[in-house]
Amino acid sequence: GAGVSQSPSNKVTEKGKDVELRCDPISGHTALYWYRQSLGQGLEFLIYFQGNSAPDKSGLPSDRFSAERTGGSVSTLTIQRTQQEDSAVYLCASRPDRGGSPLHFGNGTRLTVT
Amino acid sequence: SQQGEEDPQALSIQEGENATMNCSYKTSINNLQWYRQNSGRGLVHLILIRSNEREKHSGRLRVTLDTSKKSSSLLITASRAADTASYFCATDEHGSGNTGKLIFGQGTTLQVKP
């Protein structure tokens, strides 16, 4: 079946512009995660959605970052007034329940801020 | 903040040798998971071990968990060039909220030379 889909796969933007990154999770997966991965580094947790509960935003690095999940499915990560340090790969993952099951990852969006 | 810490950061071995990677974590967990990431791709789940399990096998993979030491190890036996990738541990945090937030370590980069 279809996996987690992220778009665009690559995004180059100028410093100061806003960007939107999209994630289509696997159908029926109630939990959705966003992570950020800088070159050669581990995954930095950003935000986590679980069903209709309030999202866990504890990993968002600044108020320039926000995320929505509409209808319990598609999610959009928005970065306002992008900075060069925002350059990274943004990974989305989903899983079917609250815990105890593996994450399914998309291939990520590579963001480059010039 | 990152929960898991892997060591070594990088490992280079010859095909046919065994590769061992270690992961330490800080808080109580429900389970610990290992993932693999090929260059430029998303992460792929390898194996999950629950907090009440001590050892688990899957093909050439062997995972151990020592909750008293808050550590886990991943052993890949009879390595192949195709095993070249980065490997990450991730912990499903356990707490009063049981949020299901999955925290990743910094990863071990494994190179298997043919």
**What average pLDDT does the segment A34-50 reach?**
91
Cis peptide before A102, with omega less than 30 degrees from 0? no
Dihedral over alpha carbons B68, A98, B101, A3 (to 10 degrees): 120
Closest CA in chain B for residue A45: B103
pLDDT for A21: 98
Does residue B99 have a pLDDT over 70?
no
pLDDT for A26: 95
Closest CA in chain B for residue A97: B100
Does residue A39 have a pLDDT over 60?
yes
What six digits make up the tokens of B2? Answer: 């990152």
Q: Does A20 touch chain B (CB under 8 A)?
A: no
- Residue B6 in contact with residue B20, Cβ under 8 Å? no
